[in-house]
Structure 1
Amino acid sequence: MAMTSNADLNVDDPEVMMDINTTPLIDVMLVLLVMLIITIPVQLHAVNLDLPVGRPPVSAVVPDKIQIDINPQSELFWQGLPVTIAQLEVNMAEAAHQATQAEVHVRPDKNAQYAVFASVLAASRRHGLTRMAVVGSEQFLP
């Protein structure tokens, strides 16, 4: 029993193809890729907030308002009086320990350094002052 090949028989038949057919593999891979894309949830670029519905209740207690100003030279003012960062920290610590938390209104100047404004916000966060407002932001509009 000997093996014969096409070359030995001198037959005009084409040779047998010895490679794997990759077309079905690619088809299966594409189907799996489409299924993966469909099953991945759509990423939303939004922040979901649970906002209260209706009118807010009227509060009988009116909170104190603390005004922090930042002038064009990036100097800080607490209720109109000039303060340093260390004095600001002390004042915020005292305001945080009050029975009713005061509203802190920060009014930065357009030409003030952002680092000073960011340090005021960071100090308020460190001391637990959550009732913050940025006043006078209309100056930043074009």
Structure 2
Amino acid sequence: MAMSVGGDSAEEKPMSDINTTPLVDVMLVLLIIFLIAIPVAIQSVELTLPKVQFEPNETKPENVVLAVRGNADGSQCQVFWNMSPITSGDLLKKGSDKLKAVVDRLGDNVTPEDIPEVHIRGDVNTPYRCIGGVIYTMQNAGFVKVGFVSQPTPGAPAE
């Protein structure tokens, strides 16, 4: 941007006009960018999402049902095996013994459907480390299938 400050004649005045060409160029470039970007951001794929419904599980008598909860401040975790409190070390031993008993009973005819599952019921306010610890312990005991038991929302249709 240049400014002319006159020469020898008294009729020449400083030029006070602003060159708007660069401003218009920048605005046009921004307009083009927005015209290209907005349809991409708004575009969506038509999907039919599944309806959430409660699907009851068939509970086998050999499945392990665990309940996990943390105390009020989250410093301790409580684990219950069929309503009986159990420590982490006892959980590993009892889980290993249960799985070994099932495998010994079935012998060479063991199929993945025959191996019991672990069903964990966790309190809403239970810290993740409590439930994660139970999952880790049961996987170390040899259980492959670990599931969570939840409560459906009120009024949800059951199949």
Q: What is the TM-score normalised by the length of structure 2?
A: 0.46
Structure with more contact order per residue of length (Cα contacts < 8 Å, sep ≥ 6)? 2
Q: What is the TM-score normalised by the length of structure 1?
A: 0.50
